[in-house]
Chains A and B, each alone.
Chain A
Amino acid sequence: MTAPLLEVKNVSIRFGGVEALKNVSLSLNPGEVLALAGDNGAGKSTLIKVISGVYHPSQGEIWFEGKPLLLRDPQDARSQGIETIYQDLALADNLDVGSNIFLGREPMTKRFGFPVIDRAKMHDVAREVLQRLDIVIPERKLTGPVQMLSGGQRQAIAIGRAIYWNARVLIMDEPTAALGVPEQRKVMELIHSLKSTGVAVILISHNLHDIFAVSDRILVLRRGEKAGERLIAETNGEECVRLMVGDTYQALQ
């Protein structure tokens, strides 16, 4: 069996006097969707920030493609193929689809011998990426600011951006939080198609329905520690909640 794509080995991190993560491990294979669940303050955000290079762990290691990974900053993580889509999507509302896909790494071309941004290429790629994801956006909205698009379309662009830059691991933080039901379903479809192309996904969600719709495994954190890990097929919603909340739930029974 080949080594997992991503391995988190006994990672701990302290902030001042607080231990936000204690001895957390996980592994992720290509094409797998790992749901990351837990109550508020359980450490989900902290964990994904460690994986995406925002924080450096105080203890433990991260291995990627069988080799240890030392991330200096989020740019480093992106260049390795670990992309994060935060809840606010990090899209520049006033720029068009192509500009958002290429933000920070715009392609250049020459006009009269001077380097200028290659807007034609950005536009073509935008169209291509959306086609690949099976998203319909009329031509004139493609050239307008992304502010004009719906929540689901914007989520699709964020995902499309990650795919275009060959993300191997895509971390998604509450992707359906602000969406209506039909758009939620669309996003789940997109995640399915990501799986089929071999991208590994870490999905943070409070939405158990989504988790069960698309994940292979679920890892529950509680107060910075791993409360449990299950195969989705072998568990149910009640057990997951129990893992998230712990003994207090028992006490309420």
Chain B
Amino acid sequence: MTATTATLPPEPLDRLAWIGRVWPWLFLLALITFFEAWSQARIGRTFIFNGYNLQAILLAASAPLMLAIGQTFVIITAGIDLSVGFVMGLAAVILAQATLAAGDSNAALAIGVGVTFLVCLIPGWINGVLIARLGVPAFIGTLGMYGVARGAGFLSAGSGMTVSIDHEGLAWLGDGWTPIIVTVVFLLGAHIVLSFTRFGQYTYAIGGNPQSALRAGINVKRHLTIIYILSALFAAVGGILYTARYSAGAANAGESMLLDSIAAVVIGGASLFGGTGKVIGTLIGALIIAVIQFGLIFLDVNAFWQFIAVGVVIIVSVLIDQYKEKLASGK
């Protein structure tokens, strides 16, 4: 054999692999185009080229997206975090209570945020210990924490189930584009970590082959524990933004967002078997869901169709994911 690196012509399978990677973007574009066309034709108004509409869609995407960012890290390691919805609720309640106790100033808000993060370290750390050190399957461990966080949130909130708070700085945080900007900042941070740092590289390695990661000297147990703590902290930010937007911390804040967070990650191209996935993909997944929801309501379609639509998109994503697996290993 000669030592030349032969340049072969691109194979048709490569094109398929490329589509497999890029299809969420294409689909989002097609969706937006479709709704815009429908909207113009049916009601003579624009669907997307409007500040309010765009903001509404982005806000609707941002809440489950915050959970989904943490979920992306977890899913890349072939795990799953079912507790994120109620950790978000717990955080929403704690933020309201801690800030109320600390006063009216922005410093009080900072204290509230700090306390919220500290409290949310606990469910994350427990998840990490259960899964990384005690070998409990992620589904079961985080399912247990789902119940614990839920109980903790409701207990903390008391009989009212929500904690109202009227705080100027907090209201500013929840106003207009601010929650979207905060979400984007965390998204970018997550992207940088996953793509450019050793921490990100090890996350992928552990997801691909925990044995080889271990042999390479990576402290897999510690890394996984940190991953679950990260997931809880992202959920905490989600809870903080909720309280900021609605001036009240509700223990059930994230109750309906767990499945959307997982759906966003899967639609974005990550495999539930671990080893692949990008937060940008998760972003596209969250946007697809939000565009479908907003679009169907904007066009007076019965909102229950949106569940069917999102369900179909998830199934298609998983099928594409399976096909990608087959392409990669069959080669």
Contacts and interface: CB of A to CB of B under 8 A. Distances in A.
B1 A136 contact: yes
A86, A93, A103 — which one has the most chain B CB atoms within 10 A of its CB? A103
Interface stretch (B155-163, B212-220, B253-261): B212-220
Minimum-distance CB pairs A-B, first 8 = A104-B216, A94-B275, A94-B208, A90-B212, A116-B196, A103-B216, A92-B208, A104-B217
A74 B215 contact: yes
Interface stretch (B4-12, B63-71, B85-93, B96-104): B4-12
A109 to B, nearest CB: 10
B328 interface: yes
23 contacts: A74-B215, A74-B217, A78-B217, A86-B215, A89-B212, A90-B209, A91-B212, A92-B208, A92-B212, A92-B275, A93-B209, A94-B204, A94-B207, A95-B205, A99-B201, A103-B205, A103-B218, A104-B213, A131-B3, A136-B2, A137-B5, A139-B5, A148-B331
Contacts of A105: 216-217
Nearest to B218: A104
Nearest to B216: A104
A78, A95, A147 — which one has the most chain B CB atoms within 10 A of its CB? A95
Interface of A: 74-75, 78, 86, 88-95, 99-100, 103-106, 108, 111, 114-117, 127, 131, 134-140, 142, 145, 147-148
B196 A111 contact: yes
Contacts of B329: 147-148
A96 to B, nearest CB: 11
A95 B208 contact: yes
B178 interface: no
A149 to B, nearest CB: 9
Nearest to A91: B212
Contacts of A99: 201, 205
A103 B213 contact: yes
Interface in B243-293: 275-276
B217 A75 contact: yes
A145 to B, nearest CB: 6
A140 B8 CA distance: 9
A21 to B, nearest CB: 22
Contacts of A117: 196-198, 201
Contacts of A95: 201, 204-205, 208
A29 B328 CA distance: 41
Contacts of A148: 328-329, 331
A136 B4 contact: yes
Interface residues on B, range: 20 to 34
A88 B325 CA distance: 20
Given A90-B211, A91-B209, A99-B201, A138 B2 contact: no
Nearest to B196: A116
Contacts of B218: 103-104
A49 to B, nearest CB: 12
A127 B2 CA distance: 14
B203 to A, nearest CB: 11
A90 B207 CA distance: 13
Nearest to A88: B211
Interface string B1-31: 1111111101000100000000000000000
Contacts of B197: 115-117
Contact of A136 (B3, B196, B217, B328): B3
B317 to A, nearest CB: 18
A147 B3 contact: no
A138 B215 CA distance: 28
A75 B214 CA distance: 10
Contact of B14 (A75, A92, A127, A140): A140
Contacts of B10: 140
Contacts of B2: 136
Contacts of A137: 5
A50 to B, nearest CB: 16
A181 B10 CA distance: 29
Nearest to A75: B217
A138 B212 contact: no
Contact of A92 (B198, B213, B328): B213
A92 B205 contact: yes
Contact of B208 (A93, A127, A134): A93
Contacts of B201: 95, 99, 103, 106, 117
Nearest to A119: B196
A117 B204 CA distance: 14
B205 A106 contact: no
Contacts of B209: 90-94
